[in-house]
Structure 1
C-alpha cells in the first residue's frame, strides 16, 4: 500500500526545473525538519508570486496533509496536477489527490479520480502497481483488477500489496486470481522483517480453502433416542431409538461469489425407526435441490429441494429450508493447545405437501483440547436444544445435557487450511419441557470434506 505521504519534496526539490526557478529551499528544509507550519507558510508565500508552480502546490499539499487537512491537501494536489506537464509527475499528483480524498472519507470522489486517470493513456495507469493500490484504497476493485490484468506488475509485489490485491480480487469474485495473490503473499512473507503471525497465516490459508472449495461431501451415521443430529437431513428421527445413514454431495456454481455461493446438491438417507414418525416410517429418502448463501458475513443458507422416495416408505414432496450457524473455536486455533468453544445452530424446514414443519435450535459451550500437533481435537461441552415438529401432538421438545466431540482434521497444504474432518460426537440430554424426545442419547459419526 502507498504510504500516507510520498515524500514528494525530496524528489521534486532535487531534480525539478520548477524548483530551480523558485530560488529557495527553505520551505523544503522546514518540511524535512518537521516544521510543517513554517513549510506551509513558505509554500503559501512562494505561490503569491508563482501561482502556477506545481512544486509549490505539491509542497503545500504535503504540509496540509501532515497537519491533518486531507481535503485541502487533495485540492492542492489537484492544482499541482493541473499545472504539471510531465506525465509521470502528474500521475503521481493524481494518485496523491485520490489518497487524500480517501483519508478525508470521500471515497466517491477518489474513485472518480481513479477512473478518470484510467482513461488517460499518457498516465500509463495499467503499468503502475501504485495505481492498483490507490484504486483499492478508493474501494474501486474493478479498476484495481483492471490494472492487475498486467502480470508484469506481479514481480513488484511486496507481501502487503499481494494480500491487498488478493482481497480485492476476492471481492470481485475472481477466485483463482485471489488464491494466486494469497499464495504469493505467503511466499513473500519470508522476505519481511516482521513475518506474519500464525493466526494471520492461518486466516489466509482458510481464505484459500473457501475460494478453492468447488465441491463438498458429507457422510453421516447416527444412533438416537433424542432427535436427529445436526446435519444434511431435514426430517425428524422420531422419539424412540432410531438410526440413520446417508450422504450428501454438493457442487458450487460460479465459485465463492465473495461469500454468497450458490450450489446444487443431492443427498440420500436411510432411516430406521422403532415407532411411526409423523412424516414417514422406515424410509430410504432422497433429495435434489439448490442452496444459496445470501449474506457474505453470516452463515445463513437457504435451500429448496425435491424429496424423492427411494422406497415405498419414502416421501415425494417439496421442501423449503433455512439454516444458520456460527460460533468460535470451531477449528484448531493456531499456536494454542486449548481454547474456548461455542457453537450455535438453527434450522427450519417445511414440507409443502405434507404441511409439516421441522425446527431445531441447538447451542453448545465448552472447551477444546488439542491432542496432537495440530489436527486432533477433543471438546467436552454443555448443550441445550429445542426441537419443533408440527406433525406431532406435542410439537415442542426442550432438553439440555452434556456432550463430547472427538474431531480429526485432514487434507491441508502449506497454503490451504484443513479441508476434511472426521468427527465422533456423543451427547446425553434430559427433558426440560415438552415432548419426551428431548431426553436421550445421540451418537453421530460424520466425515466431511
Structure 2
C-alpha cells in the first residue's frame, strides 16, 4: 500500500511539473498576444473562475482546469488567453477531440490567429495518428475497404501530411479502386508539387487504366523534377521502362536505360527484352495494363515520414521468335528424361540446351529445377548464380536459388532470394509457395519480424494466418497470437489444421497464465470429439498442462494399449495415475519407466531415476516400524508421551516403538496419507531415580491424517493406556507440521544443503496438559562415499523450544551444535532405500527459560 501511495504521489508531482511548464507556455504566449494587441482586464466572476483554472493547471489537475476554463470562456468569450488556456487544458487532459472543437470555435472569433492555427495543426496531427495506425493494420490484415475509411479520416485531420495521402493511395490500389487512386494522387501532387512520388504513382495508375498518353506525361514530369538524386532518377526510369515494355514500346525502354550498364541486375532484363525486340528476335505483347507495381519505402525522419519509390525486380516479358533448333531439341529431351526420373541424362541435355541458347533464361531455369530434383542443391545454387551474373535474372531463378540455398543451410541467402523473387513479379502460381517458404525460414532462424513482412497483405488463409500467429508469439505479442490462432481455427479446412490451431490456443493461454480458459477450451474440444488428430500421448501432455488428469490418464492408457506410448511418457503417466489415486497403475507405469532407463530407451539422469524409485517406495509402503532410543533432560526430548515425575533438569533415556498400517485402498492419495498405529514407550534410565522398565511402560493406539499432498501437516488422535503402574490412561489430540530441504539421500550430489523445521502441539484431556515443541536443524549433508554411498553425515546447528504447562517453568529455549549419521538400506531395482538407521548427538546451550533446555541430547533411531 505504501509503495502504491508513493507512486501516486510521484505521478501527481510529475503532472504538476508538466502543468507548470505548459502554463508557462500559455502565459508567455498570452503575454506576447497582449503586447501585440492588449486584451481587456478580467474582473468579477470571470476573474475568479480563470484564477481557479490557472491554479488547477499549475497543480496538474487538467480536468478541473478545463472545466473552469470552459466556464471562464463562456463568461468572457472575447479573451484570447482564456481560449488558449481551455485548449491547452484539454490537450493536457488527453481530450484531443474536445480540444480540436475548442480551437475551431476560437478561430471563428479570432480568425487567422497564428497561435490558434498552430495549436489546431498540432492537435489535428495527433488526432490523425490513430486512424493512420488503423489504416496500416487494416492493410496488413487484408481489409482494404477498412484501410480506405481509416486513411480518409487521417487525411481529414492531417490534410497536409503526405504519408496519409500515400496511405489512402495504397489502400485504394489494394482495393483496385483505380479512379479513386488517380484522384488521390492528383491531390497529393497539389499538396507537394516538388515531390516525385505521387507523380509516379499517378503515372502507374494511368498505365493500369490503359491511358498511356497521360502515364507518359507523368513519367516525364517526374523526371523533370529538380533536385532528384541519381538513385531516384534511376528508379523512375526503371519504372517508366516497365510501363513502356507493358505497352510494347521497346524504343522508349532503350532511350530510358541507355545510360546504365547492361550488366546491372536491375537493368539487364528490361534492356534485354527491348534489344531482343529491336533485333527481331522477340516480340512484346500487352495492352499496357500489366506493368509490375513499384515498391514504396517510407521512413521516419525528424521532419516527418519521407517516402521513396523503387523499381521491382522483373522477369522477361518478351516472347522469343528465333530459337535455335538444337537448343529446343535438347530442352525437349531433358523434359522427357525428367519425366522418366532419369535426372542424370536430363541434366546433360539441359546443359546442351544452355550451350545452344545461352540467352534464354528458361533453359537455365530448367537445369536448376533438374538439379534440385536430383538432390544436387549446391549445383543448382551455382547454376542460378551464374544465370544471374549473365544477366538472365528472373523471379523464378531467384526463387529456385532460394530453395537451393535453403537445402545447403544458407538460410539468410535463401530468404534474400525469395524476397527478391516476390518483389519482381513472380508468377501467381508460385507466389504462395515462395511466401510460405520465406515465412517458415524466417520463423526457423528466429526472425519473426521478417516473417511478418513476408506475409501477404490480403487474403490470409489458414496457412498464412497460423504462421502470423507463430510470428506474433515469437515476438511475445501473445494476445495478437491468440487472436490469430482463433482465426486459424475458423479458417481450418481439415481436422489436422483445426486441432493444431486449438492446441496452439491452449498453449498460448497457458503462457499467459490463463489456465482456466485453457482448460475450458480443452474440455469443450474433447466433448466435441476434436483433437483426435493429435497423437494420444502428446494430447495427454496437453491434458496434464490444463489440469485435466482424468482425461490425461485415459489418453496415456489408450496410447499404451495401442503400443504408441513413448518410453519417455511412462513416468509422466505414472505420476498422472498417482494424482488420480490409482496407485497400482501408477506403480506399474513408474516401474516401466525405470526399466526403460535401464534398457537405455530413455535418457534421464540418476537423480530423476532415484526420485522415481522413491515415489515407488512411497506408493508401495503399507506398513512400517519406527523405533528410537533417546537421551536428554526431562522435557527436552521430542517425545511428550511418557509420564515422568523427575525434576526437569535431570537426564533420562527413553525407548519408543511404533508399528503403523497404511490402508492400501486409501492410505496414500497422492501424498495425502492416512495411517493407524500402535505405540509403546518405556523409560530405560532416570537420573533422579524415578520409575523405569516395565513400571513406566506406556501403551497407545491411534490414527493420523496428513490431509494435504504438498504440505506436511499431520493431525492425530491417540488413546493412551497404561501398561505399567507409572504410566497413565488419557486421550491426546496432536497437530504437527514440518518443512524439510535435503533430508533424503541423493544420487548425483556428494554433498548438499540440508535443513528442516518441526513443530507440534499436544493436548491431553484426562490429565489436562498442553505441550508445544519446536526444533530447527540447519547444516550441510555429506555422502561418505569411501565407506558407502548410502551413508550420510549431517553436521548442523540446532535451535529448540519447548512448552509444557505441567512444569513449574513452562518454557525452555536452547541452541547448539550437533551431528547425525544416517545409513539408508533396503533398496531394490524399483525401490529407493525405504529404511534408515540414524544416530544423532547434540549439545544445547540454554537461551532462556528452564534449565532443561541445556545439556546433551542423543538419539538413535530406525525407520523401517
What TM-score bracket applies, with the shorter chain setting the length?
0.7 to 0.9
Q: Which residue of the partner structure matches residue 234 of structure 1?
A: 641
Residue 282 (structure 1) shift: 4.7
Query: 2:642 and 2:856 mapped to 1: Cα distance?
Result: 18
- Report the CA distance shift for 1:106/1:339 in structure 2 as closer, same or farther (over 3 A): closer
Aligned to 1:168: 576
Cα 1:89–1:153 shift into 2, 3 Å: farther
Give the CA deviation at 1:28.
Answer: 1.1
Which is strand-richer, 1 or 2?
1
1:142 deviates by 2.6
Q: Is the 8 A contact 2:718 2:733 kept in 1?
A: yes
Aligned ranges for residues 205-284 of structure 1 at < 5 Å? 205-227=613-635, 229-230=637-638, 234-235=641-642, 238=646, 239=648, 240-253=650-663, 254-272=666-684, 273=686, 275=688, 282-284=695-697
CA contact (8 A) 2:823 2:836 kept: yes
CA offsets 1:357-388 (integer angstroms, 9 cap, x no match): 12222223344333323112233333332222
Q: Which of the residues 565, 570, 573 maps onto 1:156?
A: 565
Aligned match for 2:484, one of 66, 76, 86: 76
Q: Does structure 1 conserve the Cα–Cα contact (< 8 Å) formed by 2:642 and 2:681?
A: no
Structure 1 Cα separation of the partners of residues 801 and 595 of structure 2? 47
Deviations 1:90-125 (A, max 9, x none): 333322222222223222221122112222346537
| Contact 2:667–2:675, Cα closer than 8 Å, also in 1 | no
CA contact (8 A) 1:252 1:263 kept: yes
Contact 2:677 2:703 in 1 (8 A): yes
Return the match for 2:758 from 345, 369, 372: 345
Map Cα deviations across residues 127-166 of structure 1 (whole Å, 9 max, x no partner): 622211111222222321232231325643252x444434
- In the alignment, is the contact (CA less than 8 A) between 1:420 and 1:447 conserved in 2? yes
How many angstroms apart in 1 are the aligned matches of 2:477 and 2:592?
36
User: Distance between the aligned counterparts of 1:149 and 1:401, measured in 2?
Assistant: 53
Give the TM-score normalised by structure 2.
0.45
Task: Give the structure 2 partner of residue 7 of structure 1.
Answer: none
Match of 1:359 in 2: 772
- Between 1:131-140 and 1:397-406, the stretch displaced more is 397-406
CA contact (8 A) 2:641 2:681 kept: no
Q: Distance in 2 between matches of 1:430 and 1:42?
A: 74
Paired with 2:668 and 2:533, the residues of 1 have a C-alpha distance of 29
Alignment of 1:15-26 (within 5 A): 24-26=432-434
Match of 1:310 among 682, 698, 723: 723
Counterpart check, 1:298 vs 2:711: yes
Instruction: Measure, in 2, the Cα distance between the counterparts of 1:398 and 1:442.
Output: 14
Q: Is the 8 A contact 1:199 1:333 kept in 2?
A: yes
**Structure 1 residue 85, shift from structure 2 partner:** 4.6
Are residue 40 (structure 1) and residue 449 (structure 2) matched? no
| 2:168 corresponding residue in structure 1 | none
The alpha carbon displacement at 1:428 in A equals 3.3
Counterpart-to-counterpart distance in 2, 1:358 and 1:244? 18
Per-residue CA shift, 1:314-338, capped at 9, x if unaligned? 3222111122223433233333444
What displacement does 1:343 show?
3.2
* 1:46 Cα deviation from its structure 2 partner: 4.5
Aligned counterpart in structure 2 of residue 95 of structure 1, from 503, 514, 531: 503
SS in 1 for 2:743: coil
Q: Secondary structure at the match of 1:437?
A: helix
Q: Is this contact kept in 1: 2:617–2:831, CA < 8 A?
A: yes
Distance 1:200 1:353, change over 3 A: same
Contact 2:485 2:501 in 1 (8 A): yes
After superposition, the C-alpha distances for 1:392-419 in whole angstroms (9 at most, x for unaligned) are 1122223344333222110113343221
Decide whether aligned partners of structure 1 residues 226 and 385 sit closer, same or farther in structure 2, where only a CA change above 3 A counts.
farther
Partners in 2 of 1:229 and 1:66 — Cα distance?
A: 59
Q: Deviations over 1:14-38 (max 9, x none)?
A: xxxxxx9996213212222215345
Taking the aligned partners of 1:165 and 1:57, their CA distance within structure 2 comes to: 34
Q: 1:136 aligns with which of 544, 548, 569?
A: 544
Query: Aligned residues, how many?
Result: 422
**SS of structure 2 residue aligned to 1:29:** helix
Match for residue 288 of structure 1? 701
In structure 2, relative to structure 1, the CA distance for the partners of 1:104 and 1:387 (3 Å cut) is closer
Q: How far 1:236 moved relative to its partner? A: 6.3
State whether structure 2 residue 437 is matched by structure 1 residue 29: yes
Contact 2:567 2:601 in 1 (8 A): no
How far is the alpha carbon of 1:250 from its aligned partner? 2.1
Aligned to 1:369: 782
Question: Which of 194, 204, 208 lines up with 2:612 in the alignment?
Answer: 204
SS at match of 1:129: helix
Q: Tell me, in whole angstroms, the C-alpha distance in 2 between the residues paired with 1:302 and 1:125.
A: 48
Q: Is 1:126–1:146's contact at 8 Å kept on the other side of the alignment?
A: no
1:290 CA drift (Å): 1.9
Q: Once structures 1 and 2 are overlaid, which stretch shifts more, 244-253 or 83-92?
A: 83-92
Q: Judge conservation of contact 2:825–2:833 (CA < 8 Å) in 1.
A: yes
Please give the TM-score of this superposition, normalised by the length of structure 1.
Answer: 0.81
Task: Give the number of the structure with larger relative contact order, counting CA–CA contacts within 8 Å between residues 6 or more apart.
Answer: 1
Rounded to whole Å, the distance in 2 between the matches of 1:308 and 1:388 is 23
Q: 1:363 to 1:84 in 2, by over 3 A?
A: closer
Q: Deviations over 1:186-219 (max 9, x none)?
A: 4445688994333333333333333333333201
Matched with 2:494 is 86
Alignment of 1:433 onto 2:845? no
Decide whether the 8 Å contact of 1:129 with 1:153 is kept in 2: no
Call closer, same or farther: CA 1:335–1:123 in 2, change over 3 Å: closer
Distance 2:473 2:576 in 1: 26
In the alignment, structure 1 residue 397 sits paired with structure 2 residue 773: no
Q: Which has the higher helix share?
A: 2
Structure 1 gap segments, 5+ residues each: 1-19
Go from structure 1 to structure 2 and tell me whether the alpha carbon gap of 1:306 and 1:54 turns closer, same or farther (over 3 Å shift).
same
Q: Is contact 2:489–2:501 with CA below 8 Å preserved after alignment?
A: yes
Structure 1 equivalent of residue 837 of structure 2: 422
